[in-house]
Amino acid sequence: MTATNDEWKGLEKTYAMIKPDAVAAGKVDDILKIAEDAGFVVVRRQEQRMDAVRAGEFYAEHKGKPFYANLVGFMSSGPIVACCLAKHNAIKDWRALMGPTNTFTAREDAPKSLRAKFGTDGTRNATHGSDSPASAMRELKFFFPNLRLDPIPEGAAAREYVARELQPTLVQALAALAKEKPSANKLEAVKWLADWLRANNPNTPPSYSEAELPLNPDDEAVADGEFFSTVAATADAQDAANVVDALDDLEEMARAATKVQSHFRGHQARRSAAQRRRDALGGGHAETRVAVESHTDVIEMEGDPEELARAAATVQASYRGHRARRDVARMRADADAVAAAAVSGSGEAALSFEGTEEEQSAAVKLQSNFRGHMARREVAAERARAEEEVELARAATRVQAGFRGHLARKQVAGMKGGDA
């Protein structure tokens, strides 16, 4: 009989196994009755038989040791009963209830323990129990892969859990991501964030060296094969709105960098065409290729620093020319608006002349539509100008920053080459 969620919610869980010798002797119910009398809740129990391969997987860390073959043979000799037990301090209390590993020692030192009552010898000692939270998690997942150890919180409880357990770590992770800015590529940014969360997981148990945690051979017998290597628990990364916002910012930067590169490639193409024309006429100099290093990709650069500086100046001049042309277009639009207003005024004056009521109504309607059209066009033009100005300013800033970085790296490489 298994327990309901309310009986074991919030309690510590441990893995308990009744070994083939106790199962063959018909002592399963007796052992579980003693466990329940001691305050344990049986969350899950399942009788199964492990073959040699599965038993070898469970005791894989002992492979190569002298007792490994006998241990695997014994554990695959008959059915076992796998259990998930819950209780406050379940791991420690279950190991205390089992008693010493060796049955003969248990009969002398703890005659009321499970191994003293139902065990046979050092290996056939009736029961097994996890020795740490990490071992309990691993062993429970080995035998109960679909077991949900704690009910999933919902509603307000879920929000409280996220705010308490996840949000502090996510805030630190996003701050580190914003500071590091590893890449404008969304997948690379997510990978960097996942690596940071894995390296800074607050739920990872501390690791200790053998000198820090000495083992006393008198307390436990290794021959039983009950020591399992600790497996560090890795928390799954949870999505949050802040992560999406940060990635959107990176994507916007990538688009700006791509736009700048597109304009710069156009400049290169025009410059190359001009050079080819000069070469065809018998003059000119060798073509210099320039590129920009951005967050999205790296284009190989060739040429001396002075030539690259002139190319950057050309990009800046093109940007200034664009702004000048935009200002001229704005002045032309203002002139058109003045002319339209003059036409509108003359139309209003025309209304003072005699005409039918239908003609006057049509003239008023025409004027109203024209004013609405002009107003909408002016608003749309102003909005487009503002957006384009912001976008081009950002793009120009990024290309200048990337170009200065390239020049600096090129100069450093030149100095290193000179020293060599």
CATH at 123: 3.30.70.141
Q: Is residue 290 part of a domain?
A: no
**Per-residue pLDDT for 23 more than 50?**
yes
Same domain, 11 and 125: yes
Q: Is residue 274 part of a domain?
A: no
Q: What is the pLDDT of residues 56-115, one digit of tens each?
A: 998 888 888 888 888 899 999 999 999 999 999 999 999 999 999 889 999 999 999 999
Residues 198 and 317 occupy one common structural domain:
no
How far is it, in rounded angstroms, from Cα 74 to Cα 68? 10
Tokens of 226: 């009950």
CA pair distance 62, 295, nearest whole angstrom: 49
d(CA 75, CA 142): 15
Q: Which residues of 148-161 are buried (b: 16+ CB within 10 A; e: fewer)?
A: ebeeeeeeeeeeee
pTM: 0.39
Q: Do 136 and 72 share a structural domain?
A: yes
Q: Is 67 part of any known ligand binding site? A: yes
Rounded (10°) CA dihedral 182, 184, 190, 191: -50
For range 408-417, the mean pLDDT: 79
User: Cα separation of 98 and 35, whole Å?
Assistant: 10
- Range in 27-36, 183-192, 219-228, 234-243 the model is least confident about: 219-228
Is 125 among the annotated ligand-binding positions?
yes
Query: Of 242, 268, 293, which residue sits at a domain end?
Result: 242
Domain check: are 40 and 135 in the same one? yes
Q: Look at residue 150 and tell me if it is in a domain.
A: no
Q: What is the mean pLDDT of residues 165-193?
A: 83
**Same domain, yes or no, for 54 and 176?**
no
Residues annotated as catalytic are 128
With respect to residue 286, please indicate whether it lies within any of the assigned structural domains: no
Residues 56 and 183 in one domain: no
Question: Residues 132, 209: one domain?
Answer: no
19 assigned binding-site residue: yes
For residue 26, what pLDDT band results from cuts at 50, 70 and 90?
very high
Rounded to the nearest integer, the mean pLDDT of the chain is: 75
Position 309 in a domain: yes
Q: Identify the band that residue 51 occupies on the pLDDT scale cut at 50, 70 and 90.
A: very high
Residue 14 lies in a domain: yes
| Rounded Cα distance, 80 and 64, in Å | 24
pLDDT at position 289 over 80: no
d(CA 78, CA 214): 35
pLDDT digits (tens, 9 = 90+) for 172-182: 888 888 888 77
The residue range of the domain holding 327 is: 305-419
Q: Flag whether pLDDT at 387 surpasses 80.
A: yes
Q: What is the per-residue pLDDT for 420?
A: 56
Whether residue 2 has pLDDT greater than 70: no
Asked if residue 101 belongs to a known ligand binding site, the reply is yes
In this structure, the answer to whether residues 165 and 66 fall within a common structural domain is: no
Question: Tens digits of per-residue pLDDT, 290-326?
Answer: 444 444 444 444 455 565 566 666 666 666 777 777 7
Q: Tell me the CB-side half-sphere exposure of residue 118, using CA atoms within 13 A.
A: 24
Cβ atoms of residues 323 and 368 within 8 Å: no
Residue 177 and residue 119 in one domain: no
> 84, 111, 143 — which closes off a domain?
143
**Do 146 and 85 form a contact (C-beta atoms < 8 A)?**
no
Q: Is residue 300 part of a domain?
A: no
Percent of all residues in the chain with a pLDDT value above 70, rounded to a whole number:
68
The domain boundary residue, chosen from 242, 260, 287: 242
Residue 189 reports pLDDT greater than 50 = yes
A 10 A CB-CB count for 295 gives 19
Mean pLDDT computed over 251-274: 72
- 3-state SS assignment for residue 213: coil
Domain count across the chain:
3
Residue 102 backbone phi and psi in degrees, to 5: -80, 130
CA dihedral (291, 292, 297, 300) in degrees, to 10, reads 30
Sheet with 41-48: strands ordered across: 41-48, 80-87, 12-18, 127-129
Confidence of residue 243 (pLDDT cuts 50, 70, 90): low
The rounded distance, in Å, linking the Cα atoms of 308 and 409 is: 13
| Domain annotation covers residue 277 | no
Same domain, 99 and 191: no
Regarding predicted confidence, which is higher, 225 or 133? 133
164 and 112: one domain?
A: no
